[in-house]
Structure 1
Amino acid sequence: MKQQAQSTLFPVILITSLFFLWGFAHNLDPILIPHLKRSFTLSTVQATLVDSAVFIAYFIMALPAGYIMKKFGYKTGIITGLLFFAAGCFLFIPAANTQQYVPFLGALFVIACGLTILETAANPYMTVLGDPKSATFRLNFAQSFNGLAATLAPIIGARLILHKGNTDSQLSAMTTGARKIALAAEASTVKMPYLVLGIILVLIAVAFSFTKLPKIQNNDGHTASKNILHAFKHRHLSWSVATQFFYVGAQVSVFSLFILYATHAARLSDIQAADYLGICGGAFLAGRFAGTALMRFFKSENLLALYAIINIALCLVAVFASGIVAVYTVIGICFFMSIMFPTIFALGIKDLKGDTEFGSSLIIMSIVGGAIIPRLFGYVSDATGNIQAGYYVPLFCFVVVALFGLKGHHVRKLAPADLIVSPIL
């Protein structure tokens, strides 16, 4: 047993690093949004295209990622994901050289394609790397590094990216053409951070190529469905797909637009707001640990509903509060969001049997909510001239989450006719 633990130690470290790396990449996006908004003089809704570029990739790549794992194996999939991730980072250099917004969105899309593949692979791999009895512990341990990245990325990223080349008074004294060129040139501050990240990713891909990883065996004792549409016959899965769509949209809205929100509601500087965003990440991590502990005493669906109801109230406060109270309100929202994604996922795939694989892919595809909901947040903010009004959008999303926790999660047995699986897809 000791020898087995030693043989899996290095693979566990490598897989755990993936959780940190994709968490770090995701939590640089809230830094990029105000940075690119200023550099290219964008509206709030235009700036949210950063999230759209990222989360549309999840929708497009969810099924291809599963195919890569099935056809070529998880090791090849992980290396492919890392190389996509690295390529997207390197594309930030020519994007900055062009001094145009669209190439940045293209680079983010490529990064997100890599992240989709990595997230599809890392969770099942972590569960098989060691004693099955400790699989849950290993997975939660790895996910804690995702939370750690959410704390560190905004603090580090702000200091590397958000510093300005010209003051507002200097910019106002320039001609329109000169101001546009000066602001676009500020976008070049992303080059070095993403270059370093890309090099690290290539090195990790090389490490994976020389590391022997165990094969994943399916011991569930069921025959996988050959028809993805059959999965929708499970009512609770349909609910979970819709709920995850709205939840991810709410989470991305809260994190990605936090700096714009905090600078408006509390009159903080960009750097100060980024530091508070790091606290949001810490609250998210603490909430995950606290929620996991509470699930020993409460049903997960009840805790999910309670947390969603609390966040509905907090969103109302976020709309009308001002000063530091508004900032701490959003930190509270981050704390109570923490258990939602894994809980919705787990309740959604419960008792799917042969539809489990397709059900999991459908829930992953629903992450596309992160591309759509923040844009609605941006539209509300731009239309009202007040970014705080945008919090009505995540408020509605948490209503959907609460309904899922209260009733939508219930598993209903399929009728005999619905158990027949058509092989058409």
Structure 2
Amino acid sequence: MPAKNPYLGSLSILTSLFFMWGFITCLNDILIPHLKSIFILNYTQVMLVQFCFFAAYLIVSVPSGYFVERFNYQKGIITGLALASLGCCLFYPAAEWLSYPLFLAAFFVLASGITLLQVAANPYVTILGQPETASSRLTLTQAFNSLGTTLAPYFGGLFILALPVKTTEELKSLDAEALAVYQSAQAQLVQLPYLWLAGSLLAIALVFALIKLPTITPSAIEHSGTDRPVNDNKNAWHYRHLLLGALGIFVYVGAEVSIGSFLISYLGEPAIAGLSAQDASHYVSFYWGGAMLGRFVGASLMQRIPAGKLLAFNACAAVLLVLIAMSWNGPIAMWSLLAIGLFNSIMFPTIFSLALNRLGKHTGQGSGILCAAIVGGAVLPVVQGLFADRIGLQAAFFIPALCYGYIAYYGWRGSRFGVAGGASVPE
């Protein structure tokens, strides 16, 4: 980030948000095998965790976009933090009452707060600086999101997976009393970490309530040079590159979440690594740590390489790695799947910033549309779970392979278009 950017201080403060929602989102990957064991669920049933979490993006994103446009980015951030804190608090009674439906409700409320945070913070970062460096700027702040996702598996493995997770066969061998004791002990491990998270989110909300961030109005965006919309009379839904970008966000988040959600189970497969859930949780950090490293490198590369071309290259590399993970066994398959994180690194911020290019006063609405597309994280893991229950976990990774194929197309061609009718958008 160039030091001459007058908004450098504000961007530095905003990085805390990217860290927190990355940390919280990645904890789902730890909770999935944990809840699968507590409630004796199959892959399809446990993927309702991701369905409820990411369904919030579909339901809450567009209203959040209007909220941000009606009020401002700072109030959107504060409200989102408070709502996310409430969601974390709901984990306590869910664990106390051993209620899977209440766990799912807690995931939805938590994700609703994070959705509002993303709708406010992502476009805010693209606006605070020169339009031509928006992809690089958002990629750099997203690197701190990846720092959160890298640390979360260690945190979750240490506290949430502190007790060994039993397999389905082991659970079936327990009598009713022993099973109740096991379920209660495992569920209680969730309570304290999520209370800590609730307190941290409230503390950050207080900080944002006390500081003064730059006020960016729709009219200021509208007249910000190259960020001016191609056709001022149309709303965000008329921009082809935005709609193709929304599909790109849908399949990207679906692929990323699917891989992360199944990683612990994949690494536990005897033909791959045969790791316990706690040991496998440590390797999940390599997946998210690769994304963090790639974002720092990518932010620099995009100062010299067109963002769309770098996006297409990374997507092609991800397709190749998924195919290897599907076809091979042992360490080669294991590290191929983990290495996908490195190439995931620039995808979300690059698709997001390319899709918002030249939307002008429709940026808030466009951000809401893109965040709604994050619902891919709700849909595609469940689809992969359905296939995993039928054709096997390893073969089911064809779902993310298809997703990365579309992203390669968007980076190479789809991101070049603007309004319906063929107006081009520079990369």
TM bracket (short chain): 0.7 to 0.9
Please give the residue correspondences for 1:275-424 in structure 2 after superposition, counting only pairs within 5 Å: 275-353=282-360, 355-384=362-391, 386-411=392-417, 414-415=420-421
Distance verdict in 2 for CA 1:77–1:296, change over 3 Å: closer
CA contact (8 A) 1:40 1:180 kept: no
Change in CA separation of 1:70 and 1:320 when aligned onto 2, cut-off 3 Å: same
Which of 26-35 and 311-320 deviates more? 311-320
8 Å CA contact 1:48, 1:374 repeated in 2: yes
| Contact persistence 1:59–1:364 (CA under 8 A) | yes
> After superposition, what is the alpha-carbon deviation per residue over 1:330-352, rounded to whole angstroms, capped at 9, x for unaligned?
12211111111122222223344
Deviates more, 1:131-140 or 1:405-414: 131-140
User: 1:402: how far off?
Assistant: 1.8
* Aligned-pair CA distance for 1:103: 0.6
CA distance in 2, matches of 1:406, 1:128: 24
Mean Cα deviation higher: 192-201 or 67-76: 67-76
1:166-221 C-alpha deviation (Å, 9 max, x unpaired): 86698565214642552254122100000111111112222222222331132432
CA distance in 2, matches of 1:267, 1:414: 51
**1:304-353 superposed Cα distances (whole Å, 9 cap, x missing partner):** 22222222121111112222222211122111111111222222233445
Preserved CA contact (<8 Å) 2:384 2:397 = yes
Q: 1:360–1:266: structure 2 CA closer, same or farther, 3 Å change rule?
A: same
* Cα deviations by residue, 1:331-378 (Å, 9 ceiling, x for unpaired): 221111111112222222334455444333222211111100001110
Superposition CA RMSD, Å: 3.1
Higher mean displacement: 107-116 or 342-351: 342-351
Which amino acid is 1:402 matched to? A
SS in 2 for 1:266: coil
Stretches of structure 1 lacking an aligned partner (at least 5 in a row): 419-425
- What whole-Å deviation, never above 9, does each CA across 1:40-89 have from its counterpart, x for those lacking one? 11101111111111111111111221222222333322221111111011
Name the SS of the counterpart of 1:213 in structure 2: coil
Over 3 Å counting, the alpha-carbon distance change for 1:204 and 1:69 in structure 2 is: same
Q: Is the 8 A contact 2:27 2:156 kept in 1?
A: yes
**Deviation at 1:287?**
1.5
Report if the CA contact (8 A) 1:224-1:356 is conserved: no
Distance in 2 (alpha carbons) for counterparts of 1:35 and 1:345: 32
2: CA distance between counterparts of 1:304 and 1:129? Answer: 23
How far apart are 1:275 and its partner, in Å? 0.9
Q: Determine helix, strand or coil for the equivalent of 2:365.
A: helix
In 2, Cα distance between equivalents of 1:166 and 1:414: 52
The alignment-based identity, stated in percent, is: 39
Letter in 2 for 1:38: S
**AA partner of residue 115 (structure 1):** I
Partner Cα distance (1:74, 1:351) in 2: 19
Contact (CA 8 Å) 1:224, 1:354: kept in 2 or not? no
Q: 1:267 to 1:219 in 2, by over 3 A?
A: same
Match runs of 1:123-272 below 5 Å: 123-126=122-125, 139-164=138-163, 171=171, 173-176=173-176, 178-179=178-179, 182-217=182-217, 218-221=220-223, 230-264=235-269, 265-272=272-279
Task: Confirm or deny: 8 A CA contact 2:140 2:296 kept in the other structure.
Answer: no
Deviates more, 1:174-183 or 1:274-283: 174-183
**TM-score of the pair, normalised by structure 1:** 0.87
Going from structure 1 to structure 2, the CA distance change for 1:318 and 1:412 (only over 3 Å counts) comes to same
Q: Secondary structure at the match of 1:409?
A: helix
